[in-house]
């Protein structure tokens, strides 16, 4: 298993099974095929007018990705609730030769299972209907560029050399330009882009010290704290440590983070609530704090958060 934060890019190491979602042969380009008029595989469905370079998808709409992958390689980024895509700007820089499909792994369990998601973000690709596993975590810009270049090379070898119309795909939506981020938020964002989670945490904490009601800073702190806790750890070792020591609070907190990162929210909440029941007062406070962070990441509108929060209140009182 790779580092959960995936800072070292993996090679294009084979396919995962998407047959439960749609026929992966739809629009597939045979090796060595000659591009058609649109630059994709012969007979490939034409992309919809105004096809965006970056879009959200899920279990119900994944055939769109399979069809589009006959024209351009589609990068697939599986994220957890509360996390944002980290690849949009990098994909747009290829000016229509790549597209990015963003998947909420928690809300789309079939895709999370098909892409074998254990931590987020998990990054894969679909080329001519064929899924490829790429990396886990937020890579550096240099590492990401290397992997995306490999995807394009693989696509060219399989006759997928199309290009989406950038002007139509990325047409402005109208309205005023977004306001610049507050300085501490921008500093946190820049640190995350560098993979420097400790500095991002410090920036968000400073923002909260200035304004304890800063909801964006609170959410950002929860997000980057999760990434920081998992950075440099091995998923298999985390799970083994938790299985070997079911009463070890640190081990159970770590595996709950891993569960949440992979979109397994019921497992994460249930594990921590079960642990809370038999913990001493000091450990109960740590577990409660971690649960509240997980609730922040998931979002109050998720019914699983409401159910877990009710159980926590019952255990507290």
Same domain assignment for residues 24 and 148? yes
Question: 109 and 77, same structural domain?
Answer: yes
**Residues 92, 39 share a domain:** yes
163 φ/ψ angles, rounded to the nearest 5 degrees:
-150, 130
Band of pLDDT at residue 82, cut at 50, 70 and 90: low
Do residues 224 and 138 make contact, with C-beta atoms less than 8 angstroms apart?
no
Peptide bond into 121 cis (omega under 30): yes
Last residue of a domain, which of 175, 201, 223?
175
Judge whether 76 and 132 are in contact, CB under 8 Å: no
Same domain, 35 and 125: yes
Same domain, 222 and 145: no
CATH code assigned at 160? 3.40.30.10
Provide the number of structural domains found in the chain: 2
Per residue in 243-280, pLDDT tens? 999 999 999 999 999 888 877 889 999 999 999 998 99
- Same domain as 265, residue 189: yes
Supply the pLDDT for residue 46: 55
Answer yes or no: do 111 and 209 share one domain.
no
Kindly state whether residues 119 and 254 are assigned to the same domain: no
**How far is residue 77 CA from its own chain's centroid?**
5
User: What are the residues whose beta carbons fall under 8 Å from the beta carbon of 196, sequence distance 6 or more?
Assistant: none
- Is 0.75 surpassed by the pTM of this model? no
268 contacts: CB under 8 Å, gap ≥ 6: 256, 257, 259, 260, 294
**Phi and psi angles of residue 29, each rounded to the nearest 5 degrees, phi first:** -90, 125
**234 touches 3 (CB < 8 A):** yes
Q: Do 169 and 300 fall within a single domain?
A: no
Give the pairing of strands 122-127 and 130-136. antiparallel
| Residue 256 to residue 249: CA distance in whole angstroms | 10
Over 60: is that where the pLDDT of 79 sits? yes
Residue ranges making up the domain that contains 156:
1-175
279 in the same domain as 203? yes
Whether residues 107 and 207 share a domain: the answer is: no
- pLDDT tens for 152-205 read 999 998 899 899 887 644 544 444 556 788 999 999 988 887 878 899 999 999
Residue 136: CB atoms within 10 A of its CB come to 30
- In this structure, the chain runs to a length of 317
Average pLDDT over residues 28-50: 46
Q: How many angstroms separate the Cα of 212 from the Cα of each of 69, 206, 300?
A: 45, 10, 19
In this predicted structure, what is the pLDDT of residue 50?
A: 66
Which residue is associated with the tokens 């609170």?
218
Q: Are residues 59 and 160 in the same domain?
A: yes
Domain boundary among 175, 193, 221: 175
Cα 112 to Cα 108: distance, rounded to the nearest angstrom: 6
Residue 126: band (very low, low, confident or very high) from pLDDT cuts 50, 70, 90: very high
Last residue of a domain, one of 175, 204, 230: 175
Q: How many CB atoms lie within 10 A of CB 168?
A: 14
Quote the pLDDT of residue 167.
Answer: 60
Round to whole Å and give the CA distance between 192 and 100: 20
Q: What is the pLDDT of residue 36?
A: 37
Degrees to nearest 5, angle at CA 153 with 151 and 157 = 115
pLDDT tens per residue, range 212-238: 999 889 988 988 898 889 887 888 899
Per the model's pLDDT, the better-predicted residue between 17 and 52 turns out to be: 52
């Amino acid at each position: 298993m790779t580092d959960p934060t995936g800072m070292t890019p993996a090679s294009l190491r084979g396919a995962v099974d998407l047959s439960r979602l749609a026929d992966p042969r739809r629009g597939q380009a045979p090796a060595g095929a000659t591009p058609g008029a649109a630059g994709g595989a012969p007979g490939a469905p034409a992309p919809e007018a105004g096809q965006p370079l970056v879009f959200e998808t899920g279990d119900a709409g994944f055939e769109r990705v399979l069809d589009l992958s006959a024209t351009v390689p589609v990068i697939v980024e599986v994220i957890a609730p509360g996390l944002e895509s980290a690849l949009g700007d990098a994909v747009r820089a290829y000016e229509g030769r790549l597209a990015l499909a963003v998947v909420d792994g928690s809300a789309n369990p079939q895709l999370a299972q098909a892409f074998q998601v254990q931590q987020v973000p998990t990054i894969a690709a679909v080329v001519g209907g064929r899924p490829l596993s790429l990396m886990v975590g937020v890579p550096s810009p240099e590492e990401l560029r290397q992997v995306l270049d490999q995807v394009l090379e693989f696509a060219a070898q399989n006759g997928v050399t199309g290009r989406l119309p950038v002007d139509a795909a990325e047409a402005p939506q109208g309205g005023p330009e977004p306001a610049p981020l507050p300085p501490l938020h921008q500093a946190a964002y820049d640190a995350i882009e560098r993979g420097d989670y400790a500095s991002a945490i410090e920036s968000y904490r400073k923002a909260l010290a200035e304004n304890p009601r800063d909801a964006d800073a609170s959410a950002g702190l929860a997000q980057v704290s999760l990434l920081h806790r998992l950075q440099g750890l091995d998923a298999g070792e985390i799970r083994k440590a938790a299985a070997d020591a079911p009463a070890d609070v640190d081990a159970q907190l770590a595996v709950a983070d891993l569960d949440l990162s992979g979109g397994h929210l019921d497992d994460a909440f249930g594990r921590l609530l079960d642990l809370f029941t038999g913990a001493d007062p000091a450990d109960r406070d740590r577990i409660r704090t971690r649960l509240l962070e997980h609730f922040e990441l998931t979002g109050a509108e998720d019914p699983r958060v409401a159910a877990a929060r009710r159980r926590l209140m019952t255990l507290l009182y």
